[in-house]
Amino acid sequence: MENNTSMGSLLSDAEAYLETKADLWKLKGVDTLSEVVSSSVVSLSMIGLVLLFVFTFNIGLALLIGSWIGKYYYGFFIVAGIYGIAGLVLYAFRNRWLKTPISNSLINKLLN
Instruction: Name the residue among 52, 61, 60, 106 with its Cα closest to residue 82.
Output: 61
Residues 30-46: tens digit of each pLDDT? 888 888 888 888 889 99
Structural domains counted in the chain: 1
Give me the pLDDT at residue 4, please: 66
Confidence of residue 3 (pLDDT cuts 50, 70, 90): low
* Highest-scoring range by mean pLDDT, 4-18, 23-37, 71-85, 89-103: 71-85
Q: Residue 76: is its pLDDT beyond 60?
A: yes
Say yes or no to pLDDT of 1 above 70: no
Cβ atoms of 87 and 79 closer than 8 Å: no
pLDDT at residue 85, as a whole number:
97
Domain region containing 38: 2-111
Region 80-92 average pLDDT: 94
Q: What is this structure's pTM? A: 0.60
Can you give the chain as a three-state secondary structure string?
A: CHHHHHHHHHHHHHHHHHHHHHHHHHHHHHHHHHHHHHHHHHHHHHHHHHHHHHHHHHHHHHHHHHHHHCCHHHHHHHHHHHHHHHHHHHHHCHHHHHHHHHHHHHHHHHHC
Per-residue pLDDT reduced to its tens digit, 18-31: 999 999 999 888 88
